[in-house]
Amino acid sequence: MKIHDDHLYHGAALTQIAEHKQFTAINAFKLKVGASRSAFVINDEIGVYLKYATKPMPAYKEYPFTFRSEHLEELASISKKCKSVFAALVCVKDRQICCLSYEELLQLVEKRKRSRGSNEDQYTVLATLPENKSFRVYVSPAGAKKSILGSPIIISRRAFPDRIFE
C-alpha cells in the first residue's frame, strides 16, 4: 500500500495519542461510504479530526487549515456520536500540533459567517506559532488579508494530546 502524506502527518498525532497514559483504543470513524481518512474515535468516546499543513504561508507565517463543507459535516456527525470532539492541526514544519476543540472551531466558522453575511463553501482557519509562545488560532475578515477577525484563540503548544483526555 502506498503511503500518502496524510498517513505520515496524521501518524504523528495518532502516535502521541497512543502514547498517552489514558489511551486505550483507536478506531477510524465510520462513514456511510466507509472509514474516514481524517476522523478517529479514541477510547470509544473522543472524536479527533486531523488536518495538516506542511509549512506556514511565507507572507504572514500562518498555517492555513481549510475546512470544506464536507469536513464540517463529518465533524457534525462525529459530535453526535462522541462525548467530545477536537481538531488536531498538525503544523509540520514547526513539528507542533494545535488542539482545537470542536466548539472553538465552530466559533471561528461562525465569526467568519457573520463577517461575510452568508455561508461559504469552505473556511480557512489560520494558526501561528510566535516564538516561545502559544498558538494563535483565528480567521480573517471576509475580503481582507493580514488581519484577524476578533481576538485569536490562544492554545498552549503543550495542550496536545492531554487536552483530548481531560
- Summarize pLDDT for 26-73 with one digit per residue, the tens: 999 987 777 888 999 999 999 999 999 999 998 889 999 999 999 999
Backbone angles phi, psi at 13, to 5 degrees: -70, -45
The model's confidence at residue 1, banded by pLDDT at 50, 70 and 90, is: confident
Residue with cell 461510504: 33
Structural domain spans, the chain? 5-165
Please say whether the structural domain 5-165 has been given the CATH code 3.40.1350.
yes
Cα–Cα distance measured from residue 45 to residue 41, given in angstroms and rounded to the nearest whole number: 6
- 161 prior amide bond cis, ω within 30: yes
Cα–Cα distance measured from residue 141 to residue 128, given in angstroms and rounded to the nearest whole number: 16
Whether 86 and 99 have beta carbons less than 8 Å apart is answered as yes
**Percent of residues, the chain, with pLDDT higher than 70:** 99
pTM of the model: 0.92
